[in-house]
């Protein structure tokens, strides 16, 4: 799922291309995409884009008359830009937004349709749709600590909860926890002050760093290689590959459609976290530490 760095780079590219542009029409090929009916999508036709903003992991287009179009790309949704007069190619689009400056298309890989689009009739309605996660890059440490310890969850769950923290998902939570040297299953209310401070500083380092890197990679063009898996990431998507800090093989915990990647030596004191499927299968043969695993 595109997260804060990806959404920020999308917004940079969109601001250059559609801010001040007039939306001529919207073509939907999959009606399921549109999740609201009032105001109708047609209310946006002929109106100019006056603002763009990020709402959690969503992209919000502000139009004249305080109308808002909000796109949530979910896991596999991606945006593509075609300048006016350019030939459109690639994956069939779920929606095409035709501006007087060009056409923005929304595609979604796979067959599970999760991406969504909403139209809101006011800024107040848009605000009500915001999950309310804290913007850590804009918040002081004490506010962050209060939000983190409000409930007792694992760090992985807390960081990826959109009601707790804004814009952080599966990929960058792995990177943040690795940078902080913290276990993904550590409990928020059990952390000492030093660990909370390390986590706070890690978020404020990792997210801007990756935003800069992705912006530089786009080089003023429209970002077309938006992915949760980057070869330069420390642990996310790098199961079995060496940790860039200590060289230990990166481990993972699988659950549902997701997985958590971590370095046992850097983050858990050498302890292997139980993967539900494998630990149940191997039972007593499941190695407890990275040293036992390496011996095997």
Which tokens sit at 167?
């814009």
Q: What number of other Cβ atoms are within 10 A of residue 140's Cβ?
A: 10
In the predicted structure, residue 238 carries a pLDDT above the cut 90: yes
In the chain, residues under CATH classification 3.20.190.10 are 4-129
The confidence score (pLDDT) of residue 282 equals 40
Which tokens sit at 245?
């800090």
- Tens of pLDDT, residue by residue over 31-80, are 899 999 999 999 999 999 999 999 999 999 999 999 999 999 999 999 99
In the predicted structure, residue 136 carries a pLDDT above the cut 60: yes
Domain 136-295, second-level architecture: Orthogonal Bundle (1.10)
- Tens of pLDDT, residue by residue over 5-17, are 999 999 999 999 9
How far apart, in whole angstroms, are the C-alpha atoms of residue 99 and residue 63? 12
- Tens of pLDDT, residue by residue over 75-120, are 999 999 999 877 776 668 999 999 999 999 999 988 778 899 999 9
pLDDT category of residue 296 using cuts at 50, 70 and 90: very low
> How does DSSP classify residue 101?
T
- Phi-psi region for residue 240, left (φ > 0), alpha (ψ -120 to 50) or beta? left
Q: Spelled out in words, what is the top-level CATH class assigned to the domain 4-129?
A: alpha beta
pTM exceeding the 0.75 threshold for the entire prediction: yes
The confidence score (pLDDT) of residue 113 equals 84
pLDDT category of residue 191 using cuts at 50, 70 and 90: very high
Question: Minimal CA–CA distance to 239: which of 202, 275, 292, 201?
Answer: 275
- Phi-psi region for residue 85, left (φ > 0), alpha (ψ -120 to 50) or beta? left
In the predicted structure, residue 281 carries a pLDDT above the cut 50: no
DSSP, collapsed to helix, strand or coil, labels residue 83 as strand
How far apart, in whole angstroms, are the C-alpha atoms of residue 257 and residue 279? 18
In the chain, residues under CATH classification 1.10.8.50 are 136-295
User: Mean pLDDT of all residues in the chain?
Assistant: 92
């Amino acid at each position: 799922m595109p997260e804060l760095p990806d959404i920020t780079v999308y917004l940079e590219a969109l601001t250059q291309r559609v801010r001040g542009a007039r939306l001529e029409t919207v073509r939907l090929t999959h009606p399921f995409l549109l999740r609201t009916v009032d105001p109708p999508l047609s209310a946006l036709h002929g109106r100019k884009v006056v603002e763009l903003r990020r709402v959690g992991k969503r992209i919000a287009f502000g139009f004249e008359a305080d109308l808002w179009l909000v796109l949530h790309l979910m896991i596999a949704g991606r945006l593509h830009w075609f300048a006016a007069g350019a030939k459109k190619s690639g994956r069939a689009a779920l929606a095409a937004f035709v501006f007087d400056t060009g056409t923005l298309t929304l595609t979604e890989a796979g067959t599970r349709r999760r991406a969504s689009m909403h139209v809101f009739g006011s800024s107040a309605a848009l605000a009500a749709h915001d999950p309310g996660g804290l913007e850590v890059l804009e918040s002081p440490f004490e506010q962050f600590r209060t939000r983190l310890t409000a409930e007792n969850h694992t760090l992985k769950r807390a960081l990826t909860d959109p009601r707790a923290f804004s814009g952080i998902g599966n990929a960058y939570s792995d990177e943040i926890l690795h940078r902080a040297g913290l276990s993904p299953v550590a409990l928020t209310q059990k952390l000492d002050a030093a660990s909370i401070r390390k986590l706070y500083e890690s978020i404020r380092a990792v997210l801007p760093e990756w935003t800069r890197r992705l912006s530089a990679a786009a080089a003023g063009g429209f970002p077309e290689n938006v992915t949760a898996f980057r070869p330069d990431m420390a642990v996310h998507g790098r199961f079995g590959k060496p940790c860039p800090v200590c060289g230990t093989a990166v481990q993972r915990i699988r659950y549902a459609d997701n997985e958590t990647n971590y370095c046992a030596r850097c983050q858990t004191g050498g302890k292997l976290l139980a993967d539900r499927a494998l630990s149940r299968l191997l039972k007593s043969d499941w190695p407890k530490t990275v040293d036992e695993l390496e011996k095997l």
